[in-house]
Amino acid sequence: MTNSGTIVACCQIALQIGDRAGNRAKIHAAVSRAADGGAQVIVLPELANTGYMFSSPQELHALAEPVDGPTIAGWQQLAEQRKVIIVGGFAENGHDGKIYNSAVIVDETGLRATYRKAHLWDGEKLGLFTAGSDSPPVVDTAVGPIGLVICYDLEFPEWVRHVAEAGAALLCAPVNWPLYPRPAGERPSEIVRAQAAASSNRIFVAIADRAGTERDQAWLGGSVIIDPDGYPTTTLRLDEETIIYATLNLPEATDKSISAGNDVHKDRRPDLYT
């Protein structure tokens, strides 16, 4: 950690479905560039090993890898070489024979956490992925506690609350946000919900989205890094391939107060929420 904070980067990249080696090379290049740029935490999109628009469960099954496969091994190697923390998504061929929409946190010491998306989106449910049922992880890293959820998970305030109450200062979210129409001048509603997730819990949120178009599906390219007040610290560069950076004072997220008498966590009334 530098004196001025922790440098976080989100890699907004285009991927080619089916081209595992090409995707690995693309990620390697993006992570290297982010590390050259000083990043200490580097976030990658959802399903970064495979792409997203599978034409069939068979195609997904053929592309998915175990967590000890070449993609995550490559990220571990990069993390060790560059002394960075990498958070990214991948299609997981589980040792239980099931296919998961998963993500990992790796650092220079190796694999720190694997998480399986609990809230599956649309066609993901139709024979593609098995939903995870474990809580999202919070890993105590060299820069502070990092939490992890995947894409649609982020839209469930209950899930974000769980990660925040478990102590995450920075919540990383690999996503693949489809491009939807929205009113002129308005931010994408996915980003609005992420802003609320940050400020309702006074945590930092770092989101890495996809760029480009894949099998006729255009991606939003909504990568953003949000502060505990709920405001973006980065400029939206919708639909470009880019790396966004922010320098974050992560210990700020341990203070949940918003006025002399208010604290966004202590003010909860959990006895009434049942």
- Does 235 sit near a second copy (CB under 8 A)? no
Based on the shown chain and the rule CB under 8 A, indicate whether residue 216 belongs to the binding site for a second copy: no
Question: Residue 30 contacts by C-beta under 8 Å, 6 or more apart in sequence?
Answer: 11, 13, 42, 44, 243
| 163/169 Cα distance (integer angstroms) | 9
52 in contact with a second copy (CB under 8 A): no
In this structure, are residues 160 and 197 in contact, taking their beta carbons and an 8 Å threshold? yes
Is 117 known to be catalytic?
Answer: yes
268 binds a second copy (CB under 8 A): yes
Give the Cα separation of 146 and 134 in Å (integer). 16
Binding-site member from 53, 67, 98, 156 for a second copy (CB under 8 A)? 156
> 269 is written with which tokens?
């009334």
Q: Which entry of 26, 46, 124, 172 is annotated as an active-site residue?
A: 46
Q: Residue for token digits 């399986």?
A: 116
Please tell me the distance from the alpha carbon of residue 256 to that of residue 83, in angstroms, as a whole number: 30
Tell me which of 38, 77, 83, 125 binds a second copy, using CB under 8 A: 125
CA–CA separation, 252 and 222 (whole Å): 24
Q: From the list 24, 28, 161, 237, which residue makes contact with a second copy (rule: CB under 8 A)?
A: 161
Residue 210 burial (CB count, 10 A): 32
Q: Is 186 in the site for a second copy (CB under 8 A)?
A: yes
Note whether 264 binds a second copy by CB under 8 A: yes
Q: Specify the 3-state DSSP secondary structure of 131.
A: coil
User: Interface with a second copy includes 231 (CB under 8 A)?
Assistant: yes
Q: Which of residues 103-122 bind a second copy (CB under 8 A)?
A: 118-119, 121-122
Binding residue for a second copy, selected from 22, 66, 81, 229, defined by CB under 8 A: 229
CB of 118 to a second copy, least distance (A): 6
Report, in angstroms and rounded to the nearest whole number, the Rg of the chain calculated over CA atoms.
Answer: 18
Where do contacts with a second copy occur on this chain (CB under 8 A)? Answer: 118-119, 121-123, 125-126, 131, 133, 135, 152, 155-159, 161-162, 182-183, 186, 189, 192-193, 195-197, 199-200, 229-231, 259-262, 264, 267-270, 272-273
* Residues involved in catalysis: 46, 117, 151
